[in-house]
Amino acid sequence: MNRIILLLVIVCTSNPTFSEEIEDLKVWHDKGKYFVSMIFTVDATLENIKKVLKDPDSIPILIPTTYEVKTLEAPEENTLRIKMSVKDCVMFYCKNVVKTSDTFEDENGDLVTRIVPELSDMKSGESRWKFTSSEGKLVVNYNSYIEPDIWAPPIIGPGVIKSRLEDQIRMTVEKLSELADAN
């Protein structure tokens, strides 16, 4: 019995080591748009992080509610167009959402993803991943916004959606770190 109690104390008080650390995370809602600003560090190379973020096969791992991913013909060279279908549930309400986006690297080496509204359940959206190095770690500055074009019951207001977004973002960062470490 004492061994079980000791084991529980050790397990419950030990600090797990993660290869990623979220330094700052803000999620907010304004005029129908949801915004995310996040800074995190990761023990992975820039090459591996970009490889994971550009790989369509990584999407269902990074975002587990994804049930379909298709690569579509891109409008420009060096652009990746992805159509993803996600089924997500908040409280009692579930919704299938289609998001089509174009991903490319800009002239600064930032990874940019833009929603294609005419092929999505989003009015607009953009994500930007900026990368710097500090003390041997990769620092990722992530900023995004989405403007959904879907109806949700009034009981599921912006506060509930913000909370859900924050949970998903934390999980995505953890999975991104795991996938980048594996490459």
In a domain, 11, yes or no: no
Structure tokens at 61: 């791992």
Q: Can you tell me the distance from the alpha carbon of 17 to that of 75, in angstroms, rounded to the nearest whole number?
A: 42
- Residue 19 — pLDDT band, cuts 50, 70, 90? low
Q: pLDDT tens-digit profile of 78-116? A: 999 999 999 988 778 888 999 999 999 999 999 999 999
Q: Which of 38, 35, 36 is nearest to 23 (CA)?
A: 38
- Expressed as residue numbers, the domain containing 35 is 16-182
In a domain, 4, yes or no: no
* Neighbour tally for 88: CB within 10 Å: 16
In a domain, 1, yes or no: no
In a domain, 110, yes or no: yes
Instruction: Report the CATH number at residue 102.
Output: 3.30.530.20
In a domain, 126, yes or no: yes
| Residue 34 near residue 13 (C-beta atoms within 8 A) | no
Q: pLDDT tens-digit profile of 137-155? A: 899 999 999 999 887 777 7
Domain count, the chain: 1
Query: Which residue type does 171 have?
Result: M
In a domain, 6, yes or no: no
In a domain, 3, yes or no: no
Q: Is it the case that residue 18 has pLDDT exceeding 60?
A: no
| Residue 96 near residue 68 (C-beta atoms within 8 A) | no
